[in-house]
Amino acid sequence: MENGSSNSENFDPASSRIAELAAALTRISACTTPQATLQELLAAFRQLIPRIGYALIHAGRDPAHPQPRVEPGHTLEEDQLQGLLAFLPSLNLPAVLSVRTPWVIDSPQSAETLRTCGIRDLLLIPIFTQEDPSNQLLALTRRVGEARFSAEDTQAAVLLITQAVSAIQTAQLLVNLEVRNHELETILQSSLQLTASLDLKQVLDAVMAGVFRLSPPTHDAHIFLYQDGTLEFGASLWQDGRKDVPFSKPRPQGLTATVARTGKMILVDDLQTHPLYLSSGLGWQGSIVSLPLVVQDHVVGVMNLAALQPGQYSAESLRPLRLLADQAAIAIENARLHAIIQQEAFSDALTGLPNRRAMDRELEDEIRRSARYHHHFALLILDLDGFKQINDTYGHPVGDQALIWFSQKLPTLVRDTDFVARYGGDELVVILPETHKQVAESVRQRIFEFFEREVFDFHEEISQPITVSVGLSLFPEDGKSADRLLKIADQRLYRHKDRRKALPR
């Protein structure tokens, strides 16, 4: 008993409270998320300052919310809440916030006003963070019938809140770092995808996918390609997964056209109030950002992102999107240059038709398709009769004109799905997919008869009849390889030419 009495007599409540406060501060500082920090703070209040009510108050200094308001999650009873909201406008809240020390009831009038709504004591503690330095207060209350806050209560509350604010800021820094890491990882992955292909469609699809990874609020995204003062739809992606469905055609003086002309980003926080949309009569709602895709001061496209609600694109959220736009611009320009090079590599410079290299590739592709699906196709080789005589008589420039004329006439005699190419010299090739012998013979005869009737006018006073000889081979009847089909068609071409030479003139 004596030992027990001695322990009781040595017990120091003040030391115990300091130990509990220190433990609470440690627990708060160990929190890694803002939500966990707030929960630990409220638990510390309940332990160290019992029988209190609490509420987080926005003081009304934000122009968008000019009246004080209480955040959800408070523990005030309804009469206390309404009384507090009625009482706050009577205070000089900017002064309360600027002092940075707790506000306590300082007049009998204030005490009486609060007592009528069941509040015995009120403690307002300013909360200062880097993001919101002067707009928040934590209100601690005690009901009528309870003791007022002591100096020790006030000191403990200030210490707890100060520690909580520090922990929340640290937690927010961690969240921001995670967001930055996610953004950088997304941009890296998008960059790898963009550089992995020189196909324009694949590049545009990769850009669209990157947009939605970086911008969750985005409802739809569109890219318009810009060349020689003209905007052309490139790609789109919608939140529901729809692809390449354009929302609308760019207006001549609208957002997309303006960004393309100026090369400057335009952010529309609210479609219903922005000058570009006020007179449009479109009635659209939400927000939109339009980003120019620029390579060396040259606009190659415009990327539009739209959200259903106003104010969805902040400067912070636009930073990674602008990086993605820079990557996209380079990838689009590379894809365009690649397409030009491909076009030059597989096009005949004189006639503009696909060249021998393109024909070889197309023929091999058609053989594979036809073999897989058990289709027939036909191959025609056409040769200009007397082409050497034209060159010798009138010169090579006239011969070139004759080839150009020939290459322009021939495609009009076959289907859009047929493939016409310059084989070499004065020979052209036509590939007729999914074509049987009877139809192929009919096409061959139609081409032959057309050029029998046509006259090439290469001078105002001089014209020259130009006829053709045609050789035909069929897949798979005449062969199943490109070399075999070309050889058979070539042999039949020269037999046709020889028969025509043998005819009486």
pLDDT in tens, the chain (505 residues): 445 444 555 546 667 888 888 998 999 888 888 778 888 888 888 888 888 888 888 765 555 555 677 777 788 888 888 888 888 888 777 666 666 677 888 788 888 888 888 888 888 887 765 555 456 778 888 888 888 888 888 888 888 888 888 887 787 777 777 777 777 777 777 777 777 788 899 999 999 999 998 898 999 999 999 999 999 999 999 999 999 998 888 988 889 999 999 999 999 999 888 888 877 666 788 999 999 999 988 999 999 999 999 999 988 889 889 999 999 999 999 999 888 888 888 899 899 999 999 999 999 999 999 999 999 999 999 999 888 888 888 888 888 999 999 999 999 999 999 999 999 989 999 999 999 999 999 999 999 999 988 888 876 666 778 889 999 999 999 999 999 999 999 999 999 988 877 666 5
Of the residues 277, 309, 344, which one is the last residue of a structural domain? 344
Q: How many domains does the chain have?
A: 3
**What are the residues whose beta carbons fall under 8 Å from the beta carbon of 481, sequence distance 6 or more?**
367
Residues 205, 156 share a domain: no
Residues 340, 215 share a domain: yes
Residue 350 lies in a domain: no
Residues 204, 336 share a domain: yes
Residues 158, 20 share a domain: yes
Angle at 316 between CA 313 and CA 320, to 5 degrees: 90
Q: What is the CATH number of the domain that holds 281?
A: 3.30.450.40
Residue 87 lies in a domain: yes
Residue 241 lies in a domain: yes
Residues 53, 168 share a domain: yes
Residues 371, 320 share a domain: no
**pTM (two decimals):** 0.56
Helix (H) or strand (E) holding 307: strand 298-307
Residues 152, 37 share a domain: yes
Nearest to 218 by CA among 238, 242, 190, 241: 238
Nearest to 332 by CA among 143, 197, 476: 197
Residues 365, 236 share a domain: no
Residues 91, 40 share a domain: yes
Q: What is the CATH number of the domain that holds 464?
A: 3.30.70.270
Residues 478, 335 share a domain: no
Q: Are 292 and 268 in contact (CB under 8 A)?
A: no
- One-letter amino acid for residue 73 of the chain: G
Residue 7 lies in a domain: no
Residues 217, 163 share a domain: no
Q: What is the span of the domain harbouring residue 135?
A: 15-173
- From CA 363, how far away is CA 381, in angstroms rounded? 13
**What are the residues whose beta carbons fall under 8 Å from the beta carbon of 140, sequence distance 6 or more?**
45, 49, 52, 53, 54, 122, 123, 125, 149, 157
Q: Are 104 and 149 in contact (CB under 8 A)?
A: yes
Q: How many residues belong to the chain?
A: 505
Residues 316, 431 share a domain: no
CA torsion 484→487→490→491, rounded to 10°?
Answer: -110
Residue 1 lies in a domain: no
Of the residues 324, 344, 364, which one is the last residue of a structural domain? 344
